[in-house]
Amino acid sequence: MLGEGIVKGLAETARNFFGSYFQEQRLTTVQFPEERRPLPEASRNFPFLVYDGEDSEKGLRCVACRICEKECPPQCIFIEKSKDKKPDFVGKQQFYPDVFDIDVSVCMSCQICVEVCPFEAIKMDTEFELSTSDRFEALMWKKDRLARPNEYYHQIHPTEASEVDARLAEEKAKAAAKPPAKPAGNSNGGSAAASSSAPAPVQAADEVPAAR
C-alpha cells in the first residue's frame, strides 16, 4: 500500500508522544532532587574500599599490596603500608594500609584499580553528587571516607557482590581444608638422616683382606 510506512512511522511517533505523559517507562524527566531514578547496576563513578563485619579497620580487605597504586593511569592513589600485620579473610597474616588516599579531582573512573585488585578490596561506587566548595582538601578522600561495608556493596551491585562473596567463601573453604604443613623432621626421617650421616664401621684387623 502506498504510504504505509509513513502511516506506521506517524503512529509510532504519536504513541511515544502521548505515552510520555502517563507511562512511567516513557517519562522523559523527573522532579529532581525530590524524585530520583534508580541507578542501573552497571553504573560506576569513583572507587571505594570494601570491609567485612562492623569494624572498618579490622575488616578492611585491602592488604596494601599497592598494585592499584602502580597501575592507576592518572596516579591518583596514595598508599602507605603498615608496620604490623592482621589476619585476612582466610586467616593469613597480611599487611594493611596505614594511609589510603584517592584524589577524586584526578580520578577518571577507569576501573583499572578494581580489575587488578587480587583481594576484591576496591570497587566502583554509584554516588555522583560530590560537589564541594573546597577545591583541595575535600577532594582528597582518605581511608575513613573510602571504606564502605560489604552490605553497601550488595545494595548497589547485588549480582556482582554475590559472585564475589561466593568466590571468597570457596577460597576460604579450600584454605581451611588444606592440611597443615608437616614439621621439617619426623621420627622416620630423623632416624634415616642419622643413619645416613653415621660414619662407616671400621673393619677389624683380622677382617682386612690380605694383600696380593
CATH number at residue 55: 3.30.70.3270
The domain containing residue 94 runs over which residues? 47-175
Task: Establish if 10 belongs to a structural domain.
Answer: no
pLDDT score of 192: 47
Domain total of the chain: 1
* Distance separating alpha carbons of residues 92 and 171, to the nearest angstrom: 12
Task: Specify the amino acid at residue 180.
Answer: P
Helix runs in 4-140, H state only: 4-19, 67-71, 112-116
Helix (H), strand (E) counts: the chain: 7, 8
In a domain, 119, yes or no: yes
- Residue pLDDT, tens place only, 112-141: 999 999 999 999 999 888 888 888 888 999
- What is the per-residue pLDDT for 203? 53
Q: Which of 169, 90, 84, 157 is nearest to 122 (CA)?
A: 157
pLDDT of residue 4: 87
Q: Is residue 100 included in any domain, yes or no?
A: yes
Q: What pLDDT, on the 0 to 100 scale, is given for residue 179?
A: 79
Domain-located, residue 52:
yes
Q: What is the mean pLDDT of the chain?
A: 84
The pLDDT value given to residue 191? 47
What 3-state class would DSSP assign to 33?
Answer: coil
Q: What per-residue confidence (pLDDT) applies to 171? A: 87
Domain annotation covers residue 204: no
Task: Give the model's pLDDT for residue 95.
Answer: 92
> What one-character DSSP code corresponds to residue 206?
G
- The C-alpha angle with vertex 67 and arms to 162 and 181, in degrees rounded to 5, equals 75
Look at residue 162 and tell me if it is in a domain. yes
Contact 124, 109 (CB under 8 A): yes
Q: Which residues of the chain have pLDDT under 70?
A: 1, 28, 90, 181-212
Residues 6+ apart with CB under 8 A from 188: none
CB-facing half-sphere around the CA of 153: CA atoms within 13 A: 24
For residue 30, tell me if it sits in a domain: no
Write the CA distances from 94 to 56, 70, 143, integer angstroms.
16, 19, 17
Instruction: Decide if 196 is inside a domain.
Output: no
Residue with cell 596514595: 78
pLDDT at 195: 47
Rg of the chain over Cα atoms, rounded to whole angstroms, equals 32
Percentage of the residues of the chain whose pLDDT score is greater than 90: 49
